[in-house]
Amino acid sequence: MAYIHREGYPTLSILFVILAAVNALLIYFLMNHWLVYLLLLVSLGFYGFVLQFFRNPVRHTPLDDSLVYSPADGKVVVIEEVYEKEYFKTARLQVSVFMSPLNVHANRQPISGKVTYYRYHPGKYLVAWHPKSSELNERNTIVVLHPSGKSILMRQIAGAVARRICCYLQEGQKVQQGAELGFIKFGSRVDIFLPLDAQLKVKIGDSVKAGESLLASF
């Protein structure tokens, strides 16, 4: 079962009023012309297309401190060892999930723990698959300390279309695996930086779902 995410209420309300006004004018001026019915169908289709951006299906995440779930719906586009220079300042295993406009856009907690770091970075709006988007685009960086003492870093990244990223966390907050952590409008990308000894459960090209698909284990 899916609900409409609260981030969609303003957009959907404004769009409904605009489309209703435009279609009312078309009906008034064109009366029963066949073009009116065509434009009505186009309007309904467009509204339905935008509506699906904000769907928020119920997810059931089996809690397990040894597992790391995907924080986003989408496709795994990057798996590589990198130097993480914002927080850890050491080598980490990066896994990136690209979110298309057709994916669910709500982001979820991959692990339980405590938020030890949160920063919002203004920036550019390069396409999400650009290699520098993780460093140059508008983004949120979140670090969660796992009960084992290990930490993971997540980065919500805005893209050329997704120009609104939301994060509902703050430093010191305790979080639970599978709980909602934020939202990225109209697709983009989420990077997660894992310890080098994490055991990966995905490969490049895999489709994943937030709070359901395993990325790795500790």
Per-residue pLDDT of the chain (218 residues; tens, 9 = 90+): 678 888 889 989 999 999 999 989 888 887 778 888 898 999 999 999 889 889 999 999 999 999 999 999 999 999 999 999 999 999 999 999 999 888 998 999 999 999 999 999 987 666 655 556 566 678 899 999 999 999 999 999 986 655 578 899 999 999 999 999 999 877 688 999 999 999 999 999 999 999 999 999 98
Rounded to whole angstroms, how far apart are CA atoms 52 and 101?
Answer: 9
Q: In what order do the strands lie in the sheet with 214-217?
A: 67-69, 214-217, 199-200
Q: Which of 66, 188, 207, 217 is catalytic?
A: 188
**pTM for this entry:** 0.86
In the Cβ-directed half-sphere of 34, how many Cα atoms lie within 13 Å? 0
188 is catalytic: yes
